[in-house]
Amino acid sequence: MKNPLERKRNFITIFTKGGLPSKLSYLIMGLMHLVSGQVIKGCLFLAVEIAYIAYMVTSGIDRIRNLITLGDNVQGMVFNEAVGIYEVQQGDNSMLILLFGVVTLVISLAFIAMWLVSIFSGEDARSRKAAGKHVRTFAEDIRSLLNDKVHLAFLAIPVAGLSIFTLTPLIYMILMAFTNYDSEHQPPGNLFDWVGLENFRTLLSTSDRLSATFWPVLGWTFIWGIFATFSCYFGGMFLAIVINSKGIKYKKFWRTIFVTIMAIPSFISLKVVGTMLGERGIINVLLQQWGFTDHALPFLTNTDWARVTVIIVNFWIGVPVTMLMVSGILMNIPGELYESAKIDGASPFKMFTKITFPYMWFITTPYVISNLIGNFNNFNAIYFLTGGAPNSLDYFKGAGKTDLLVTWLYKLTKDSNDYNLAASIGIIIFVISATFTLITFQRSKAVKNEEGFQ
């Protein structure tokens, strides 16, 4: 779309080189569109600006201001002599102030993005008009959303949803790490305040006590994540290949058998299996009746047994999920690849390593990585199956030997209400897993070369 007569202007030159409407459009969003004839679009931009200003005036500015102090009025109590009761006077709730401050920040960020968009799109309209080209009508703009701008149409809802329900809470949690929101500063009865890096300093100073737990738990989290992810991945792939192989009849029946266990909500199956594996659970009862052992096996009570058991139970639950996914993809592998391999006399194993696996791996690398991260943070599997047990006094505050970092964090929060420290540890965990993921993700072939497998 470049106009050969005029170099495309950047953010600054739009202002310096532009005429009065261009300059004013920095202040009044949509002005340039109105001038260039894009009336509806201009009005929409203007409406957004008015809405934002209205919001800021009515409550936004107060919220930003409150964010700085996190509230001044402590909840109080006054004795009403006439009636003989205490009456509570509502104070500020630091937690809500923090949250709605963050909401205002996110709204402001979205507004700034909008503002930039309006400037550039206004400039685009102006330069087209100046060059005597056709200026897009509103209807054309809408239509372009179905074609070259289809990503805007498709991503609008996800982006909005993620900003509201993921990003905002996330920023809220990060900010919490810089406050003294601990057991002694619990809203609504008390206020909490900013303390800077104090919490991280505390964590470092109590480090020997915490690190005696942190590192072993981190280590187990990694072992668990890797075993849980890859056992299910390969197990599921293997199962799918067996079921999908040509000689097997009644494929639907076999798949249904394995999917049945998925049909029971996982926390129920985890709880039931946890019961079955107990000292007097049915598995121990049967193993003794069948003569495999003469005493109950400590499936979930001995550290090593428990760790192996949770991985196996997770395997039991996870394999059908992968099987289902892999089945879907397997059918899409071009059949002629196998035909030609067969003609070359390749063994089934060779066909797997040379065709099936590379194809699967190409499609699923991002899935595997996100699954790995998901397993590092697999709260449900541990919480519902063992609750972290067997607990051990080797660990700080009796954390459990199957506790992952997340479940440990959860216990810390629940036991002592120290949200600030929990948030700080949360940030540390996040930094570790984010670094790990980004490195792996960037290195993965599928990401580097998305058009690769053809």
How many Å apart are CA 329 and CA 118, to the nearest integer?
A: 43
Stretch that binds another protein, among 12-20, 21-29, 58-66, 220-228 (CB under 8 A): 58-66
User: C-beta of 141: minimal distance to another protein in Å?
Assistant: 7
User: C-beta of 316: minimal distance to another protein in Å?
Assistant: 7
Q: Does 61 bind another protein (CB under 8 A)?
A: no
Q: 179 - beta bridge partners?
A: 194
Extract the tokens encoding 248: 């097997």
- CB-CB contact of 228 with 312 (8 Å): no
Q: What is the largest CA-CA distance in the chain?
A: 99
- CB-CB contact of 338 with 355 (8 Å): yes
Stretch that binds another protein, among 15-23, 218-226, 291-299, 349-357 (CB under 8 A): 291-299
Judged by CB under 8 A, the residue of 292, 308, 342, 353 near another protein is 292
Number of residues that bind another protein (CB under 8 A): 199
Q: Does 73 bind another protein (CB under 8 A)?
A: no
Residue ranges in 251-270 that form contacts with another protein under rule CB under 8 A:
252, 254-269
Residue ranges in 99-138 that form contacts with another protein under rule CB under 8 A:
99-100, 103-104, 106-107, 110-111, 113-114, 117-118, 120-121, 124
Judged by CB under 8 A, the residue of 6, 328, 353, 445 near another protein is 328
Question: DSSP letter at 398?
Answer: G
Stretch that binds another protein, among 19-27, 79-87, 127-135, 217-225 (CB under 8 A): 79-87
Q: Does 293 bind another protein (CB under 8 A)?
A: yes
Cβ density class 239-254: b for 16+ within 10 Å, e for less: bbbebbeeeeeeeeeb
Q: Does 190 bind another protein (CB under 8 A)?
A: yes
User: C-beta of 290: minimal distance to another protein in Å?
Assistant: 5
- The sign one gets for the Cα dihedral 355, 360, 363, 366 is negative
Q: Does 46 bind another protein (CB under 8 A)?
A: no
Judged by CB under 8 A, the residue of 46, 272, 297, 355 near another protein is 272
Q: Does 183 bind another protein (CB under 8 A)?
A: yes
Residue 429 carries which side chain, given as an amino acid letter?
I
Stretch that binds another protein, among 5-13, 20-28, 219-227, 275-283 (CB under 8 A): 275-283
User: C-beta of 353: minimal distance to another protein in Å?
Assistant: 19
Cβ density class 391-401: b for 16+ within 10 Å, e for less: beeebbeebbb
Q: How far is CA 244 from the centre of its chain?
A: 33
- CB-CB contact of 367 with 373 (8 Å): no
- CB-CB contact of 420 with 180 (8 Å): yes
Q: Does 217 bind another protein (CB under 8 A)?
A: no
Q: Does 34 bind another protein (CB under 8 A)?
A: no
Q: Phi-psi bin for 254: left (phi > 0), alpha (psi -120 to 50), beta?
A: alpha
Extract the tokens encoding 23: 């300059």
- CB-CB contact of 135 with 11 (8 Å): no
How many Å apart are CA 118 and CA 133, to the nearest integer?
A: 20
User: C-beta of 108: minimal distance to another protein in Å?
Assistant: 10
Judged by CB under 8 A, the residue of 438, 439, 443, 445 near another protein is 438
Q: Does 454 bind another protein (CB under 8 A)?
A: yes
Judged by CB under 8 A, the residue of 4, 84, 132, 345 near another protein is 84
Q: Does 366 bind another protein (CB under 8 A)?
A: yes
Using CB atoms within 10 Å of the CB of residue 361, give its burial: 0 to 12 exposed, 13 to 18 middle, 19+ buried: middle
Q: Does 389 bind another protein (CB under 8 A)?
A: yes
User: C-beta of 127: minimal distance to another protein in Å?
Assistant: 12
Q: Does 202 bind another protein (CB under 8 A)?
A: yes
How many Å apart are CA 383 and CA 392, to the nearest integer?
A: 16
- CB-CB contact of 134 with 128 (8 Å): yes
Under DSSP, is residue 408 helix (H, G, I), strand (E, B) or coil? helix
Using CB atoms within 10 Å of the CB of residue 195, give its burial: 0 to 12 exposed, 13 to 18 middle, 19+ buried: middle
Q: Does 430 bind another protein (CB under 8 A)?
A: yes
Judged by CB under 8 A, the residue of 53, 131, 155, 308 near another protein is 155
Judged by CB under 8 A, the residue of 35, 232, 239, 240 near another protein is 239
Judged by CB under 8 A, the residue of 14, 67, 240, 273 near another protein is 273
User: C-beta of 150: minimal distance to another protein in Å?
Assistant: 4
Q: What angle do CA 193, 195, 196 make, to 5 degrees?
A: 135
User: C-beta of 366: minimal distance to another protein in Å?
Assistant: 4
